[in-house]
């Protein structure tokens, strides 16, 4: 499909695509696909005021009614799925199947949030005082700043946005400067839902386009009580102290360095499929991508051989074309970083298969996904390189494998392939994987939205999406009500006047 048609189908106008100062290139072929207007710090301040005003009204709208707006957003997303999915592919380079999957993830979180809008419940708690009732209530919190990364240009936005809106919080979204078009197109889809809804206040969603200085206005503002940020650990290190300094709340989803342990009893056919999807999907640029394979020595040679065979037949090419499984890296910097990591691994004694640039389209950075057989888990393996490099290490004892899996600064996702329940339960136990996500007999990527998503250590500790992640968008209030005629004090204190 020609680029122009994708931009037209996403209903982006000429005015939006030309005349701005932010150049947007497609990783598919390096073509310039837009020159988008950026916002100034003053613009973002104005958005914050506007969103604050919207909050005053929105927080009093009954939550199930707020859910209706997200229900309509979900309907509009269903209608726009093909168009937005193709735009995701054009702007960030993931294959069309994954572009569509990302929009489906938005639709799924809409459904979850609609139900959640009728389930924003707290506890009733036994009071020690006669004639007293204690309860916990969840109230809207305020404006949420949502900062997202290029590799998932729309789904993590939706995880945050849909919950924030049903929880009563307007959102200011700072998308990656590499993927502003997806954000503009998404905002239009939401606008259609707003129109159908009828009486929503203005300013429930603002898109703030630009570089780091835009995010800095959000993180510094005392009028933005929640900052949810997805991206690198480096970005998180810049955001977290600023928000903490003003006692704001952060929801951080940062780097991952996800491993799979493959035990001798594993179903190797399934393991190979899971490894290939999670290591080369999105060209290794998911925060959940499989980066480390820790395989039992008894099956190591066999598994590596099977992987090499599978890798050799991977269709690398235009992510918009049917049948392609590996699209391009986002840009030249990503390619450089991958090559540097491979050089370092080689210097550490790795045996490397793949990794070369693949001449698919001159302006695109296509690579052969790489397998790096490591002598041990060296420093480069412990770092997250956002590229399709699979480091392979061997183990003989499961305790050793779990220790190796945990011995990285990041703690997002992990998995084990084994049909031995003793091994799998140990992996899931308190002494097992230290990650926010731990899977058995599936890969580390492709999480469903029903579970809480996020992880520990340098991954930042935030949880988004399903389970009780909604609580991060609300403030908890404990209320004690005295319906007696007396005034007994707690802890039995006597204070008679």
Q: Which of 92, 162, 167, 287 is catalytic?
A: 287
Distance in angstroms (rounded) separating the CA atoms of residues 257 and 287: 8
Q: How many Å apart are CA 224 and CA 220, to the nearest integer?
A: 8
Nearer to ligand UN1, 51 or 452 (CB): 452
Judged by the rule CB under 6 A, the positions of this chain that interact with ligand UN1 are 105, 151-152, 156, 230, 286-288, 445-447
- Altogether, the residues listed in the chain come to a count of 497
Please, what is the minimum distance in Å from the beta carbon of residue 384 to ligand UN1? 11
Q: Which residues pair with 474 in a beta bridge?
A: 140
Residue 251 neighbours by CB distance under 10 Å: 22
| Whether 191 is catalytic | no
- Contact by Cβ (8 Å): 89, 99: yes
> Looking at beta carbons only, is 205 or 447 nearer to ligand UN1?
447
CA dihedral 434, 438, 444, 447 (to 10 degrees): -120
Q: Minimum Å distance from CB 443 to ligand UN1?
A: 9
Nearer to ligand UN1, 138 or 152 (CB): 152
Choice between 41 and 446, CB closer to ligand UN1: 446
In the complex, least distance from residue 465 CB atom to ligand UN1, rounded to whole angstroms:
8
Please tell me what DSSP assigns to residue 329: B
Q: How far is the CB of 259 from ligand UN1 (least distance, A)?
A: 15
Which CB sits closer to ligand UN1, 253 or 318?
253
Buried b (16+ CB within 10 A) or exposed e, 286-298: bbbbbbbbbbbee
Does the active-site annotation cover 287?
yes
Please list, in sequence order, all residues whose beta carbon lies within 8 angstroms of the beta carbon of residue 447, skipping any fewer than 6 positions away.
Answer: 288, 413, 437, 453, 465
Burial of 347 (0-12, 13-18, 19+ CB in 10 A): exposed
DSSP state at residue 153 = S
Closest approach of Cβ 152 to ligand UN1, in Å? 4
113 to each of 70, 160, 233, how far by Cα in Å?
7, 10, 28
Both tokens of residue 429? 């136990």
In the bound complex, what is the minimum distance in angstroms from residue 303's beta carbon to ligand UN1? 22
Task: Name the residue nearer to ligand UN1 (CB basis): 122 or 446.
Answer: 446
User: Which residue, 120 or 239, has its beta carbon nearer to ligand UN1?
Assistant: 239
Any alpha helices (H) in 59-127, and if so which ranges? 63-92, 96-116
Provide the pairing of β-strand 351-353 with 357-358: unpaired
Q: Please report how close the Cβ of residue 282 comes to ligand UN1 at its closest, in angstroms.
A: 7
Could you count the other beta carbons within 10 Å of the beta carbon of residue 372?
25
Q: Strands across the sheet with 132-140, in order?
A: 124-125, 132-140, 474-482
Q: Which one from 102, 105, 253, 384 is the annotated catalytic residue?
A: 253
- Residue among 58 and 157 whose Cβ is closer to ligand UN1: 157
The least distance separating ligand UN1 from the CB of residue 240, rounded to whole angstroms, comes to 17
Rounded Cα distance between 468 and 100, Å, is: 26
Ranges assigned E (strand) in 317-455: 351-353, 357-358, 366-367, 370-373, 389-395, 410-411, 413-417, 437-440, 452-453
Catalytic annotation, residues: 253, 287
């Amino acid at each position: 499909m020609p680029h122009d048609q994708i931009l037209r189908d996403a209903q982006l106008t000429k005015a939006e695509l030309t005349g701005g100062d932010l150049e947007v290139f497609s990783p598919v072929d390096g073509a310039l696909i837009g020159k988008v207007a950026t916002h100034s710090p003053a613009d973002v301040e104005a958005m914050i005021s506007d969103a604050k005003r919207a909050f005053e009204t929105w927080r009093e709208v009954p939550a199930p009614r707020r859910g209706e707006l997200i229900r309509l957003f979900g309907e509009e997303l269903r209608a726009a799925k093909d168009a937005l999915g193709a735009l995701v592919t054009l702007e960030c380079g993931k294959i069309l199947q994954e572009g569509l999957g990302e929009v489906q993830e938005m639709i799924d979180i809409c459904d979850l949030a609609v139900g959640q809008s009728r389930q924003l419940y707290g506890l009733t708690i036994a009071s020690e005082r006669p004639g007293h009732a204690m309860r916990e209530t969840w109230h809207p919190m305020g404006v949420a700043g949502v900062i997202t990364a290029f590799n998932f240009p729309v789904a993590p936005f939706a995880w945050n946005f849909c919950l924030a809106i049903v929880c009563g919080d307007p959102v200011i979204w700072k998308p990656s400067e590499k993927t502003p078009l997806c954000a503009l197109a998404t905002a239009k889809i939401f606008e259609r839902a707003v129109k159908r809804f009828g009486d929503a206040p203005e300013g429930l969603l603002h898109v703030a386009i630009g570089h780091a200085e835009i995010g800095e206005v959000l993180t510094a503002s005392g009028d933005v009580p929640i900052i949810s940020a997805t991206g690198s650990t480096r970005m998180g290190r810049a955001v977290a102290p600023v928000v903490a300094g003003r006692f704001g709340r952060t929801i951080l989803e940062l780097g991952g360095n996800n491993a799979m342990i493959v035990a001798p009893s594993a179903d190797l056919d399934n393991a190979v499929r899971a490894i290939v999807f999670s290591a080369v999907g999105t060209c290794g640029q998911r925060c959940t991508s499989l980066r480390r394979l820790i395989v039992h020595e008894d099956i190591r040679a066999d598994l590596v051989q099977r992987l090499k065979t599978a890798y050799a037949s991977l269709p690398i090419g235009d992510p918009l074309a049917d049948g392609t499984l590996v699209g391009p890296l986002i840009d030249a910097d990503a390619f450089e970083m991958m090559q540097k990591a491979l050089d370092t691994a080689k210097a550490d004694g790795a045996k490397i298969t793949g990794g070369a640039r693949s001449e698919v389209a001159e302006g695109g950075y296509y690579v052969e996904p790489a397998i790096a057989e490591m002598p041990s888990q060296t420093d480069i393996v412990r770092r997250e390189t956002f590229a399709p490099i699979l480091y392979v290490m061997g183990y003989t004892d499961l305790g050793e494998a779990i220790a190796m899996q945990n011995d990285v600064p990041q703690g997002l996702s992990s998995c084990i392939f084994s049909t031995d329940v003793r091994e799998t339960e140990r992996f899931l136990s308190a002494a097992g994987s230290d990650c926010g996500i731990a899977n058995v007999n599936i890969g580390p990527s492709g999480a469903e939205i029903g579970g809480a998503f996020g992880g520990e250590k340098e991954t930042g500790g935030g949880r988004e999406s399903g389970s009780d992640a909604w609580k991060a968008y609300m403030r908890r209030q404990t209320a004690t009500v005295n319906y007696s005629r007396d005034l007994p004090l707690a802890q039995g204190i006597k204070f008679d006047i």
